[in-house]
């Protein structure tokens, strides 16, 4: 479906050279500081400018093994590109994200992942969750020569890269290809369809393995807690997106004519945009607070608006009505008694995900509590990514946390930490 | 990854990238940080005689030429040699060398034309355990007015004499740094060789005025209303430097003399080019001064990627590889014909090629109704101007006509064998037999 073409098309060689030429090679570069995985951005851009994109890719992947996916999905407008000094100079940052994609695409097209495994250490580590956090952790551990088993409850690896990220951000099965490529390092065994809490227990895992890393993500969703939530046509946006991502034929994905999406984050935007792209007549995104409070960036808001989505602010859902199936939804103007109603034959809830189970570990807020290196309250158990405290819920943050936990696990197991 | 380890005059360094004698190497603090950043070696900022050190200006000492987006293309300076006491420098050199035994540390020197002066400073340098010395016969300003620097470098006899003194009083390698401010670089290179130099390094900076302040009517940098010529360096001087390196590498009487290539090295590619033309290693100043020490990381990664791609196991495998291909004009094949070709998919229809060719060259580019630009083979002399002015890299390329193909411009069929000016019928001094053989 042409509608689902690449959001940011890849740069041609000429575009890449022109874009790279704009980088100042800043000292202690602010963009680098703003990248959760601290990629050496000035260096990799210089490597592109000097016609060695493969070297550039190595610079990127050393810090972030999912640099290919991050180049596609990072909200760069709130991360590296926001910090770029050319934002202050001309409000036109160096196109870091697209340059990152240029380099990583080049290297990935040329062959296998470029890292070698160290000699076997004989240590065995269980990683639960094959999302960005788990994969990044597993790759780093494999690089150090450890033997890693990655368990995931789903039938496919990739976590939200595979099941959540909007289809126009990672076209042509990129998520699956990237996982395949990453596993090329060797030393990583994938065990799919194995759920912790069902098929596996933390006690057994800590018993069997030298260390356990939890990259579980957030498997539960928040409820609206208003009348009508159980009506047919009221869906969880993440589930709906997962179905969309896995659909062989997009025309089979159920989409309403009048779609109302409730929420204000990336999931809400992605659901709204994709509903529109699938052919919904009208899509309204209703957020309960002001525009300035919206977690989705201005770039994403504008993206939604450009697709014809109506953004509604200060709208608190009060009641969903309909005979068996949803027909309309009533809101209050946040903080007032004023009420209004929208026609809706599909309501998508995108009001946040939460941790499935804390597995007896200490929590911090609603997440598994970890220290700066990912250690949980239980000896021998580390956690990172969306399920763990600290950092934003982003792919790149998950990669950083998985990598850092791997470094700590390695140091601990080799008696250095 | 390719092994970048380089052996230059028996001085080993983990890579061929040395910092040239200049502010980046003027003190221990800088040099330690440079080594931490990955530089393979340094030539310490030029030391002068013991006693009160030279005094620098305290107003601006640099001028610059910028490209679009303020990219620094050329830098000039009116700085002198080190203005710190000799003793301090020597102590620092000894300390740094002791802490970084695997890096090259060469000491640059400039003292008056007097054997005793050289003997004295060499003895002091020897005590630091530095790997060698570089004789600065290059600085074109200030020191030259005092009979040193380029004032020596421009007189081959002085070059030879001082080199002899140095070789007599110092056991380790001696590199002679040449000034480009001379009509023929071979003269001082020969003198250095005759004097016993182990190597030459080039180029030092070029006499220059980078800009004029049109309000105060004074050259820049301006010191209290007045200015002087300074030494020019940076990317802009690379072509001049590379030609001089190549001349020394290919001239029969200087060929084989080791060369340290300097002048505008900014990327791995610049370094590879200098080395292909015969430089055993390269020295860098302006690129470090523009981008900081970290720039060496790109030099390292780029050179090793290229070496891997080409299958070069060590830098020695390609040093000098292009030297046999550098020749005199008269040896070029005049029957070799290429034609410009425009890739219509890459062309953005700016018309720069057309303006250049139509106005100033051979009217060999046609402009269609819809701004389609095409090359007229019957007019194209293959001058390459369009290739050089086109803003899109790789959009215009040169296609080589194969033997047997017709050149529509001359009506000539490309012959199998080649014909240079030495055999050309238009050359009154040509060998007539060459034409008879070809049936003309
Ligand atoms: C719709 C949507 C769009 C998003 N878009 C973006 C975006 O554009 N850019 C961005 O940076 N971020 C985006 N995010 C956020 C990003 O996807 C997450 O932050 C990131 O995937 C977190 O990685 P993770 O590895 O912690 O968890 P996940 O990617 O959620 O992976 C967790 C894995 O653990 C498995 N698992 C969970 N519980 C168990 C169990 N008990 N036993 C075994 N396996 C288990 C799951 O099956 C899953 O494979 C989006 C999120 C959503 C929901
Ligand atoms: C500010 C400045 C000071 C320099 N001082 C010296 C010096 O003391 N001794 C010397 O041999 N060369 C000196 N040079 C010349 C450099 O070592 C080098 O030969 C020249 O800059 C060309 O290299 P580049 O294009 O990489 O800068 C100086 C250059 C600059 C810019
Ligand atoms: S801040 Fe911008 S200009 Fe500076 S290094 Fe980063 S990308 Fe380049
Ligand atoms: S570079 Fe440093 S020393 Fe030079 S003028 Fe600027 S602040 Fe002063
Ligand atoms: S200069 Fe290059 S891009 Fe411009 S018209 Fe000519 S061929 Fe096309």
B392-427 pLDDT, tens digit each: 999 999 999 999 999 999 999 999 999 999 999 999
Q: Which residues pair with A368 in a beta bridge?
A: A363, A388
Residue nearest to atom 1 of ligand 5 (CA): B390
* Angle of CA points A138, A141, A143, to nearest 5°: 110
Handedness of CA B148, B149, B150, B154 (dihedral sign): positive
Token pair of A73 as six digits? 């999905």
| B291, B302, B346 member nearest A47 (Cβ) | B302
Helix (H, G, I), strand (E, B) or coil at B72: strand
State yes or no: pLDDT of B433 exceeds 80: no
A27 contacts chain B (CB < 8 A): yes
Please give the number of the atom of ligand 5 that sits closest to the Cα of B386.
1
Pick among A55, A85, A90 to test the B interface (most B CBs inside 10 A): A55
Report residues of chain A scoring pLDDT below 70. 1-3, 416-417
Closest-approaching ligand to the CA atom of A66: 1
Q: At what angle do helices A41-49 and A53-63 cross, to 10 degrees?
A: 160
Handedness of CA B232, B233, B235, B241 (dihedral sign): positive
B402/B405 Cα distance (integer angstroms):
6
Distance B352 CA to ligand 5 centre (A): 6
Q: Would you place residue B138 in the very low, low, confident or very high pLDDT band (cuts 50, 70, 90)?
A: confident
Distance B233 CA to ligand 3 centre (A): 25
Token pair of A14 as six digits? 């000429």
Distance B136 CA to ligand 2 centre (A): 10
pLDDT tens profile B41-58: 999 999 999 999 999 999
A13 contacts chain B (CB < 8 A): yes
Binary contact (A14, B268; C-beta < 8 A):
no
* Any ligand 1 atom below 6 A from CB of A131: yes
Residue A114, judged by CB atoms within 10 A of its CB (0-12, 13-18, 19+), counts as: middle
Chain A positions in Cβ-Cβ contact with residue B269 (cut-off 8 Å): 50-51
Residue nearest to atom 7 of ligand 5 (CA): B347
pLDDT tens profile B64-84: 999 999 999 999 999 999 999
Contact B298, B266 (CB under 8 A): no
Give the minimum alpha-carbon distance from B284 to chain A in angstroms, rounded to a whole number: 17
- R_g of chain B, CA atoms, integer Å: 25
Q: What is the DSSP letter of A230?
A: T
Binary contact (A55, B301; C-beta < 8 A):
yes
Binary contact (A27, B292; C-beta < 8 A):
yes
A15/B352 Cα distance (integer angstroms):
19
Prediction pTM value = 0.92
* Any ligand 1 atom below 6 A from CB of A219: yes
Strand ranges in B9-120 using DSSP code E only, listed in sequence order: 11-13, 17-19, 41-47, 62-66, 72-77, 104-109
Per-residue pLDDT, averaged over B162-181, amounts to 97
The mean pLDDT of chain A is 96
Distance A231 CA to ligand 5 centre (A): 62
Note the pLDDT of residue B35.
98
* Any ligand 2 atom below 6 A from CB of B22: yes
B256/B246 Cα distance (integer angstroms):
11
| B294, B298, B394 member nearest A47 (Cβ) | B298
Mutation to probe ligand 1, out of A395, A405, A406 (largest number of atoms < 8 A from CB): A395
Pairing state between β A363-364 and A367-368: antiparallel
Handedness of CA B130, B135, B138, B139 (dihedral sign): positive
Note the pLDDT of residue A14.
95
A145 conformational bin, left if phi > 0, alpha if psi -120 to 50, beta if neither: left
Give the minimum alpha-carbon distance from A55 to chain B in angstroms, rounded to a whole number: 6
Note the pLDDT of residue A348.
98
- Closest chain A residue to the Cα of B303, Cα to Cα: A52
- Closest chain A residue to the Cα of B287, Cα to Cα: A25
| A17, A25, A47 member nearest B393 (Cβ) | A17
Please give the number of the atom of ligand 1 that sits closest to the Cα of A393.
19
Q: B220: Cβ–Cβ under 8 A, 6 or more apart, which residues?
A: B60, B63, B209, B210, B211, B212, B213, B227
Note the pLDDT of residue B434.
54
pLDDT tens profile B301-311: 999 999 999 99
Contact A157, A114 (CB under 8 A): no
Q: Closest by alpha carbon to A291, among A276, A301, A299?
A: A301
Residue nearest to atom 8 of ligand 5 (CA): B347
State yes or no: pLDDT of B440 exceeds 80: no
| A27, A42, A52 member nearest B302 (Cβ) | A52
HSE at residue B159, side-chain half, CA atoms within 13 A, is 29
Domains of chain A: 2-110 (1.10.1060.10), 124-219+355-413 (3.50.50.60), 221-352 (3.50.50.60)
Written as one string, the DSSP assignment of B355-395 is HHHHHHS---EEE-TTS-EEE-TTT-----HHHHH-SSTTS
pLDDT tens profile A274-312: 999 999 999 999 999 999 999 999 999 999 999 999 999
Residue A82, judged by CB atoms within 10 A of its CB (0-12, 13-18, 19+), counts as: middle
Mutation to probe ligand 1, out of A71, A133, A150, A165 (largest number of atoms < 8 A from CB): A165
Binary contact (A55, B291; C-beta < 8 A):
no
- Cβ pairs bridging A and B (under 8 Å): 45
Distance B335 CA to ligand 4 centre (A): 56
Give the minimum alpha-carbon distance from A45 to chain B in angstroms, rounded to a whole number: 10
B238/B245 Cα distance (integer angstroms):
10
pLDDT tens profile A380-417: 999 999 999 999 999 999 999 999 999 999 999 998 65
Note the pLDDT of residue B148.
84
B126/B169 Cα distance (integer angstroms):
10
| A21, A50, A54 member nearest B269 (Cβ) | A50
Token pair of A159 as six digits? 């976590």
* Any ligand 3 atom below 6 A from CB of A80: no
Residues in chain A: 417
Domains of chain B: 6-325 (3.20.20.70), 329-437 (3.30.70.20)
Token pair of B250 as six digits? 């290919």
State yes or no: pLDDT of B438 exceeds 60: no
Closest-approaching ligand to the CA atom of B355: 5
Q: Would you place residue B439 in the very low, low, confident or very high pLDDT band (cuts 50, 70, 90)?
A: very low
B237/A327 Cα distance (integer angstroms):
75
Cis before A354? omega within 30 = no
Name the catalytic one among B139, B174, B347, B386.
Answer: B139
Tokens 């309501």 label which residue?
A: A347
Q: Examine the residue annotation and report whether B350 is marked as an active-site residue of this protein.
A: no
Pick among A24, A51, A89, A110 to test the B interface (most B CBs inside 10 A): A51
CB count within 10 Å of CB A240 equals 23
């Amino acid at each position: 479906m042409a509608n689902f073409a690449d959001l940011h098309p890849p740069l041609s060689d000429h575009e890449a050279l022109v874009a790279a030429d704009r980088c100042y090679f800043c000292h202690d570069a602010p963009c680098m500081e703003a990248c959760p995985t601290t990629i050496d951005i000035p260096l990799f851009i210089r490597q592109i400018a000097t016609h060695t994109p493969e070297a550039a890719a190595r610079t990127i992947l050393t810090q972030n093994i999912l640099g290919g996916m991050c180049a596609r999905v990072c909200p760069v407008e709130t991360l590296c590109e926001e910090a770029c000094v050319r934002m202050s100079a001309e409000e036109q940052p160096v196109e870091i994200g697209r340059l990152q994609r240029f380099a990583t695409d080049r290297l990935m097209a040329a062959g296998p992942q470029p890292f070698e495994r160290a000699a076997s250490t004989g240590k065995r580590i269980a990683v639960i969750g094959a999302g960005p956090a788990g994969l990044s952790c597993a790759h780093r551990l494999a690089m150090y020569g450890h033997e890693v088993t990655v368990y995931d409850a789903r039938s496919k690896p990739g976590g939200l890269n595979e099941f959540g990220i909007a289809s126009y951000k990672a076209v042509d099965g990129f998520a699956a290809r990237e996982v395949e490529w990453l596993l090329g390092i060797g030393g990583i065994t994938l065990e799919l369809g194995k759920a912790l809490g069902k098929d596996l227990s933390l006690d057994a895992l800590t018993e069997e393995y030298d260390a356990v890393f939890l990259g579980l993500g957030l498997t539960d969703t928040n409820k609206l807690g208003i009348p009508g939530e159980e009506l047919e046509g009221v869906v969880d946006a993440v589930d709906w997106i997962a179905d969309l991502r896995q659909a062989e034929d997009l025309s089979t994905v159920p989409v309403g004519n009048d779609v109302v999406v409730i929420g204000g984050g990336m999931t809400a935007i992605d659901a709204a945009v994709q509903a529109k792209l699938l052919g919904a007549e009208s899509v309204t995104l209703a957020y309960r607070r002001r525009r300035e409070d919206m977690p989705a960036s201005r770039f994403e808001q504008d993206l939604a608006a450009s697709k014809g989505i109506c953004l509604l602010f200060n709208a608190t859902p009060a009641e969903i009505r309909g005979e068996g199936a949803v027909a309309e939804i009533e809101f209050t103007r946040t903080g007032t008694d004023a009420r209004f109603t929208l026609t809706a034959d599909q309501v998508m809830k995108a009001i946040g995900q939460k941790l499935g189970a804390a597995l007896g570990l200490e929590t911090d807020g609603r997440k598994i509590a970890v220290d700066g290196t990912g250690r949980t309250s239980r000896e021998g158990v580390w956690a990172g990514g969306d399920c763990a405290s600290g950092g934003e819920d982003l792919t790149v943050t998950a990669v950083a946390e998985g990598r850092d936990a791997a470094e700590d696990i390695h140091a601990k197991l080799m008696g250095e930490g | 990854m390719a092994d970048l380890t380089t052996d230059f005059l028996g001085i080993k360094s983990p890579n061929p990238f040395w910092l040239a004698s200049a502010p980046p190497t003027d003190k221990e603090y800088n040099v330690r940080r440079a080594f931490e950043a990955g530089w393979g070696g340094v030539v310490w900022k030029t030391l002068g005689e013991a006693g009160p050190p030279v005094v620098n200006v305290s107003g601006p000492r640099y001028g610059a030429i910028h490209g679009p987006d303020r990219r620094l293309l050329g830098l000039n300076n009116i700085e002198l040699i080190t203005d710190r006491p000799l003793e301090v420098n020597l102590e620092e050199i000894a300390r740094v060398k002791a802490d970084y035994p695997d890096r090259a540390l060469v000491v640059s020197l400039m003292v008056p034309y007097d054997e005793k002066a050289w003997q004295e400073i060499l003895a002091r340098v020897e005590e630091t355990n530095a790997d060698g010395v570089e004789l600065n016969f290059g600085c074109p300003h200030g020191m030259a007015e005092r009979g040193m620097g380029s004032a020596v470098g421009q007189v081959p006899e002085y070059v030879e004499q001082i080199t002899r003194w140095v070789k007599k009083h110092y056991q380790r390698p001696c590199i002679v740094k040449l000034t480009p401010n001379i009509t023929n670089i071979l003269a001082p290179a020969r003198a250095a060789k005759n004097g016993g130099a182990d190597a030459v390094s080039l180029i030092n900076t070029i006499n220059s005025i980078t800009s004029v302040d049109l309000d105060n009517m004074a050259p820049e940098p301006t010191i209290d209303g007045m200015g002087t010529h300074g030494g020019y360096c940076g990317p802009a001087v690379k072509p001049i430097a590379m030609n001089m390196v190549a001349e020394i590498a290919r001239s029969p009487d200087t060929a084989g003399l080791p060369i340290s290539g300097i002048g505008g090295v900014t990327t791995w590619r610049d370094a590879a080019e200098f080395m292909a033309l015969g430089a055993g290693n390269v020295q860098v100043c302006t690129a470090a001064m523009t981008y900081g020490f970290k720039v060496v990381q790109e030099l390292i990664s780029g050179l090793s990627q290229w070496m891997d791609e080409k299958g070069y196991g060590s830098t020695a495998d390609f040093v000098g590889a292009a030297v046999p291909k550098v020749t005199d004009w008269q040896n070029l094949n005049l029957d070799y014909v290429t034609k410009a070709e425009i890739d219509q998919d890459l062309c953005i229809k700016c018309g720069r090629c057309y303006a250049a060719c139509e106005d100033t060259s051979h009217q060999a580019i046609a402009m269609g109704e819809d701004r389609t630009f095409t090359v007229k083979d019957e007019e194209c002399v293959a001058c390459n101007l369009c290739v050089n002015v086109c803003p899109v890299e790789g959009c215009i390329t040169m296609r080589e006509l194969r033997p047997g193909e017709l050149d529509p411009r001359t009506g000539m069929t490309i012959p199998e064998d080649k014909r240079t000016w030495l055999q050309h019928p238009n050359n009154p001094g040509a060998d007539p037999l060459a034409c008879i053989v070809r049936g003309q």
